[in-house]
Amino acid sequence: MATVVDESEFFTDIMDDGYHVFSITHAKTPGFYPNEFPDYLSVKLNLLIVGDQINIRVFSRVGSGENVQVDGGYIDLEVELIESDHVFGVILTELPKQFPLEKGSSLEI
């Protein structure tokens, strides 16, 4: 019997924010993401320090209206702030202008 998974968080993030940061926790939930992709190597939050450079997977909305598509890829971040289990990083990757994220922006991962 197939498991029914609520994908609304993924698509709500895409539609509301324009992007969704890949989640290791959600990746372990069968069917959470629309397609399968290679294993994502986890980073242990307790080992990160400010200034570390990490690579994360992000999904972005491309287009609008009925022509909305989702594009995914990896971006590089430099850790700028760590507060308990929340990590914030500055985007180091130059992204195309149509993406909702840009180099130099801060992002919670």
Q: pLDDT tens for residues 47-78?
A: 889 999 988 888 888 777 777 777 778 899 99
Q: Which residue do the tokens 């990746």 mark?
A: 27
Query: What's the predicted TM-score (pTM) here?
Result: 0.64
CB 21 within 8 A of CB 58: yes
Strands 53-62 and 19-21: antiparallel
Helix (H) or strand (E) holding 14: helix 8-17
- Of the chain, the percentage scoring pLDDT greater than 90 comes to 20
Specify the pLDDT at position 7: 52
CB 50 within 8 A of CB 82: yes
Whether residue 40 is predicted with pLDDT greater than 90 in this model: the reply is no
* Cα separation values, 20 from 16, 40, 56, 72, 83, Å: 10, 15, 11, 9, 21
